[in-house]
């Protein structure tokens, strides 16, 4: 079965699992409407473009669903492969493509084990959700430390501690 790859911004790694599959071509789409909705700066768009120059991918512009469909038809593909993403707009495009094509979402090894982030609009919010997992400090450990700190006597309460004299 002939396949094409739809490469999106979440799969710019040349060592990603999707690149290990046989394919007849790969396409990335700059969708102006999506870029506007996401509020991407020119710097972000240039970063994407420069990253894509390092990959064996055809760079196109237009409506993502239409461009990916026409690219697959040009190559005589029966299936579209893409990588898993947490971005809602990518998931919506995958669902719309499934109405006309056989679409396989290739899972990637997770960057870290933890919850799926719910807020992707600001990096700081995203990082607060995943940071405990990134460095092996699961939330249960943070809760245990907070409980232990609450059980300690306050700094002004010295009834249980004795003053120590330095040894001579």
**Residue 29 near residue 61 (C-beta atoms within 8 A):** yes
What does the pLDDT look like over 107-122, one tens digit per residue? 887 666 667 666 667 7
- Please, what is the average pLDDT of the chain? 84
Q: Which regions of the chain carry the CATH code 3.40.50.620?
A: 3-106
pTM of this structure: 0.68
- What is the CATH class of 3-106? alpha beta
What does the pLDDT look like over 124-155, one tens digit per residue? 887 777 777 777 665 555 666 677 777 776 66
**Full DSSP string of 18-82:** GGGS--S-EEEEE-HHHHHHHT--HHHHHHHHHHHTTSS-EEEES-HHHHHHHHHHHTT-SEEEE
């Amino acid at each position: 079965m002939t396949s094409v790859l739809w490469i999106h911004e979440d799969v710019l790694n040349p060592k990603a699992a999707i690149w290990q599959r046989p394919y007849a071509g790969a396409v990335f789409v700059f969708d102006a409407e999506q870029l506007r909705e996401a509020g991407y700066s020119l710097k972000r768009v240039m970063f994407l473009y420069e990253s894509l120059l390092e990959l064996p991918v055809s760079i196109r512009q237009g409506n993502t669903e239409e461009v990916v469909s026409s690219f697959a038809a040009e190559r005589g593909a029966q299936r579209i492969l893409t990588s898993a993403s947490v971005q809602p707009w990518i998931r919506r495009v995958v669902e719309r493509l499934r109405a006309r094509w056989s679409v396989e979402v290739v899972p990637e090894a997770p960057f870290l084990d933890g919850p799926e982030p719910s807020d992707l609009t600001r990096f700081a919010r995203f990082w607060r959700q995943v940071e405990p997992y990134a460095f092996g400090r699961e939330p249960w450990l943070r809760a245990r430390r907070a409980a232990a700190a609450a059980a300690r006597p306050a700094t002004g309460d010295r009834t249980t501690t004795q003053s120590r004299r330095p040894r001579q």
